[in-house]
Chains A and B, each alone.
Chain A
Amino acid sequence: MDAQLKKGLLEVCVLAAIRKEESYGYKIISDIAPYIEISESTLYPILKRLEASGAVTTRTEAYNGRLRKYFRITEVGKAKIQDFVDTMYEFKKISDFITQGGGV
């Protein structure tokens, strides 16, 4: 898969993983891993980017005697997911056109 495309997909996957409720690094990886390859060193820059763009907010909480950072989606993040869904709809139409032999 193209690196840029994968990067974009991973961003939306992370947002989708925290859409229903806030989550933390390890859980996000566990939720996404069955669908797309992701590692700790891949996730870190994505979370950093999403936080910088205002798509997620964070809070740190003590857990089992150590700190855990939780990520929560914002309206900006939800809008990003919607943008992706809209784009995929456009892609689907183009894909159908291509697979059906360029129309007739």
Chain B
Amino acid sequence: MTYKEWESCLVEELKGLPTAECLKITDYYKEMYGDRLDAGMSEEAILAEFGSPKSCAEKILAENAVENAESKGNKKNAPTVSNNDNSQVANNMRRIVVGILFSLFVGIPLAAVLVSIVVALGAVCISGTAGIVASLAYLFIGAFTATGAGIAAHIGLAIAAMGICGFLGLGGYYATKYCAIYSYKLMKTIYKGILK
């Protein structure tokens, strides 16, 4: 078994825990594994010392159950792994209900507003790009059809229009890009906080 396989099995065994806690545990073992490798131990020896993923998970889950029981002041009932499972199920149910209610009244409307802003900025970018093409067309038509000072006036107008459209196109592109990125981050942070 490689360390990666061991870690996958551990994650599987810790399925009942919140993702953030599971990540902390895998980070912890990753660090321990790296330090033991640096100390000259082989992968096989390290994994033998860690023990099976199942036994590691059982110890962590049992400890978690004790902490849950202690934090609830429920010292009379002996804490067991199944108590932990029950509290995890209740916790997951709470998250689902909170997630649905939050999505209905806040999440979806907020996402709709953010998507509208991104689409509007995208439209600015597209219209700016289309404006550059139109200005170019105007430049050529003006240059070939006008006479005398009119040529210079057409070229000047076309260049000015291209500048404005270029600004709109490029500005629209970056505004769309960053608005989309930060909208995604905002929604992710909100949901992370709500579903913690």
Contacts and interface: CB of A to CB of B under 8 A. Distances in A.
B31 A24 contact: yes
B50 A40 contact: yes
Contacts of B29: 40
B60 A44 contact: yes
Nearest to B36: A26
Contacts, number: 53
Contact of B56 (A29, A40, A48, A49): A40
Q: Is the interface of A mostly helix, strand, loop or mixed?
A: helix
Contacts of A6: none
A1 to B, nearest CB: 17
Interface stretch (A11-19, A65-73, A75-83, A89-97): A65-73
A24 B25 CA distance: 15
A99 interface: no
Secondary structure dominating the interface of B:
helix
Contact of A25 (B28, B39, B49, B64): B28
Size bracket of the B interface: 20 to 34
Contact of B30 (A27, A39, A66): A66
A68 B56 contact: no
B12 interface: no
Interface string A14-56: 0000000000111101000000000111101100110000000
A39 B46 CA distance: 12
A100 interface: no
A87 interface: no
Contact of B35 (A24, A39, A41, A44): A24
Contacts of B49: 39-40
B31 A44 contact: no
Nearest to A44: B28
Given A41-B55, A44-B60, A49 B31 contact: no
Given A39-B51, A41-B51, A44-B25, A25 B31 contact: yes
B27 interface: yes
Given A26-B36, A45-B63, A66 B31 contact: yes
Contacts of B59: 41-42, 45
B25 A68 contact: no
Interface string B25-52: 1011111101110110000000001110
Interface in B112-131: none
A104 B193 CA distance: 65
B31 A64 contact: no
Contacts of A39: 49-51
Nearest to B50: A40
7 contacts: A24-B31, A25-B32, A39-B50, A39-B51, A45-B67, A66-B31, A67-B27
Interface of B: 24-25, 27-32, 34-36, 38-39, 49-51, 55-56, 59-60, 63-64, 67
